[in-house]
Structure 1
Amino acid sequence: MSQQMAGATRPQEPKIDRSLTLHLRGDWGSANLHRVCGWIAQELTDRCGPHTRIATWNSRGMSDAVRAVGRGEVQVALTTPAAFTAAALDGRGIYADEFYPDLRALGVVPQRDRLVVAVHKDLGITTFAELRQSKPVLRLATSVNDGVNYVGLAAHELLTRAGVDVVGWGGEFLEDERPFESLDHATEGRANAIVHEAIMLPAWQEIGRDFSFLEVEDHVLDSLHDDFGWPAAVVDDGYFPGRAAFRTLEYSDFLVCARADLAEDVAYAIAWVLGETRHIIEGQYRHLAPERSPITYPLDPVTMGRAPIPLHPGAARYYDALPAK
């Protein structure tokens, strides 16, 4: 890419003469984190020694990915949502038994997402207060709550703090790993409630015709932020059919993370790839509207350098060199 863009000098393109062997962790294999890993691997290999080898390991892209980096099993991993990683720095929540103060960010790939709670309109419930009062029998679709899957973790934390006792009210959890199975439960009538993310998937629009989306109460959102650093966010007016804007738990962004001992020139090079070759990953999503895309383009390098954990010094060198706006 040219060193001149919009009349401003861009950060220097990296060139690493030695050959590298790097291990990355993406997702299950066919989703967005693996795409980002492929993009990083391609562009980084082009700028390193001739015998460079970069492998991408399958992962769940959640606490397992964070632990893999923290334990030194891989050099770089992607995890989502980005904000959930902050608890791994000082041992909050699921990281209380093992935490990693030397985790560092190489950048953030923006993805605007939310964790939402929806119940079937046949239940006649539109708020958490009505849900607690009615105590319906729920067949609630979400992800497994096994200490690794962030969706299952967040769903159970949110419901518990909101006073929703699915099992105690005679209901059950329908638990799977990925959002697709949970969405199928809702669209095919097996579930009358769902707590999940990936709200840009088309199936949510189908669900939106028959389900009511519940605003999460302030005290629940505040407690999740205070205890774990999980932020709240708004789902925009009309994002779901006929639903006004409402607050819920944020579930945004892919964090590219490493340890502080990653070589500084490698950290700089990966940050440079994220910011300066962003058109490559953007091109894979431009058939989708930005607000319905798993990666929220156009990507902005300055924004990509704002992470919930400290930047690696090599990555910081790239973001600090960006032209001032």
Structure 2
Amino acid sequence: MAPQRSGAPEPKIERSLTLHLRGDWGGANLHRICGWIAQELADRCGPYTRIATWNSRGFVDAVRAVGRGEVQVALATPAAFVTAALDGRGPYADEHYPDLRALGVLPQRDRLVVGVRRSFGVRTFAELRERKPALRVATSVNDGVNHVGVAAHALLERAGVDVTGWGGEFLSDERPFESFDHVLAGRADAIVHEAIMLPAWQEFGKDMHFLEVEPDVLEALEAEQGWPAADVADGYFPDTPAFRTLDFSDFLVLARADLPDDVAYAIAWVLGETREVIERQYRHIPPDHSPITYPLDPVAIGRTPVPLHPGAAAYYEQLEA
């Protein structure tokens, strides 16, 4: 049954639009969200509306594309990492975008975790620094664009882990699936990655010790980069107690301040009022292991780390009235 609507006026844009969105590589969640937005928005716009979704990586490249005006809307993850683009921190030091605005945030409860094969006997970062094992570490490329690779290397460096200096190596790929394959095939001794809700983690998780990130490391990453910390629940991985690590949550829907207000309102309305369209694509998966954490809450969708576009804010304000 479709969720009850809030009573916020349904948008109707008489003119026909041509919009460009940026999703992911093509076969993951950001592209699926773009398809949902395109379908529901086009239903409420002029008859010649055209909405295209461009392939993307969903990281720094997506933020730059919308900031530069190459597309009107882009999705990026994790949401908190985008705040650096507002004031020029990290990868945005040479080019930042104070006019970025959010249309909403869709929940994906994710973490960046560090796992080391149990055969190494390493349970903490202190033990890792003491033993200095030569590890083959599966993670994403550290190219200044991929948030996973950037965060993985920053976390290890801040924690005093010198993978190559200890005789190890990085096995670097773009997407998590290649990293999972390295672990499953025995090519990797450790992994630093996200997308922890995917089934592969349960398959190889029984062979891993997951290391809690030390408080001073997490505090430094938040102070310097704006990256928050979060917990992984007890038993989320096989035979693993709760631990704290880097938060890697949520899909941020981005635009610029110059997006017309009625379009921004319409997209926010789609996110909040037609959520059944996207939810039903994930209901075969338990919520805590779903790539989109359902049920979606329209009020929470409007709580974004980047300032809301005024048009989008006009929708969310009606929910809390």
Identify the TM-score tier after normalising by the shorter chain: over 0.9
The question of whether the paired residues in 1 share the 8 Å contact of 2:11 and 2:265 is answered with yes
* CA shift for structure 1 position 207: 1.4
- 1:61-108 CA-to-partner distances (Å, cap 9, x unmatched) read 000000000000000000000000000000001110110000000000
Equivalent of 2:27 in 8, 14, 30:
30
Q: Give the one of 68, 88, 93 matched to 2:85.
A: 88
Amino acid at match of 2:119: D
- Give, in angstroms, the shift of residue 5 of structure 1: 3.5
* Contact 1:10 1:323 (8 Å CA) reproduced: no
Offset, 1:323: 4.7
Q: Pick from 293, 309, 312 the counterpart of residue 309 of structure 2.
A: 312
Q: Percent identity?
A: 75
Q: Distance in 2 between matches of 1:76 and 1:213?
A: 36
Q: Specify which of 254, 258, 272 is matched with residue 261 of structure 1.
A: 258
> Offset at 1:228?
1.1
Q: For each residue in 1:120-171, what CA deviation from the matched residue of structure 2 results, as whole angstroms up to 9, or x when unmatched?
A: 0010000000000000001000000001100000000000000000000000
In 1: Cα distance, 2:315 partner to 2:22 partner: 23
Contact 2:299 2:320 in 1 (8 A): no
The corresponding residue for 2:124 is: 127
CA distances 1:16-36 after superposition (whole Å, capped 9, x unpaired): 000000000000000000000
Q: Pairwise mapping of residues 177-256 of structure 1 onto structure 2 (< 5 A)? A: 177-256=174-253
Paired residues in the alignment total 321
8 Å CA contact 1:132–1:164 kept in 2: the answer is yes
Instruction: Give the counterpart letter for 2:50 in structure 1.
Output: R
CA displacement at 1:318 relative to structure 2: 0.3
Please give the TM-score of this superposition, normalised by the length of structure 2.
Answer: 0.98
Instruction: Give the one of 133, 136, 146 matched to 2:133.
Output: 136
Instruction: Read off the aligned partner of 2:117 and give its amino acid letter.
Output: H
- How far apart in 2 are the matches of 1:260 and 1:323? 23
Q: Which residue of 1 aligns with 2:150?
A: 153
Supply the RMSD in Å over aligned alpha carbons. Answer: 1.3
Give the Cα–Cα distance (whole angstroms) in 1 for the partners of residues 45 and 83 of structure 2. 31
Aligned AA for 1:264? D
The within-5 A match list for 1:41-52 is: 41-52=38-49
The residue number in structure 1 matching 2:280 is 283
What whole-Å deviation, never above 9, does each CA across 1:168-205 have from its counterpart, x for those lacking one? 00000000000000011111100001000000011001
CA 1:282–1:5 in 2, change beyond 3 Å: closer, same or farther? closer
Query: Match for residue 68 of structure 1?
Result: 65
Q: Distance in 2 between matches of 1:93 and 1:128?
A: 25
SS of corresponding position for 2:25: coil
Question: Aligned partner of 2:268: which letter?
Answer: A
Deviation string, structure 1 residues 239-295 (Cα, Å, up to 9, x no partner): 001111000000000000000000000000000000000000000000000001000
Q: Does 1:273 align with 2:260?
A: no
The question of whether the paired residues in 2 share the 8 Å contact of 1:108 and 1:304 is answered with yes
Q: What is the aligned partner in structure 2 of residue 12 from structure 1?
A: 9
SS of 1:321's equivalent in the other structure is: helix
SS at match of 1:55: strand
Q: Distance in 2 between matches of 1:286 and 1:318?
A: 26
Name the CA distance, whole Å, in 1 between partners of 2:240 and 2:7.
43
The structure 1 segments of at least 4 consecutive aligned residues displaced by more than 4 Å after TM superposition are none
| Aligned counterpart, 1:301 | 298
SS of the counterpart of 1:65? helix
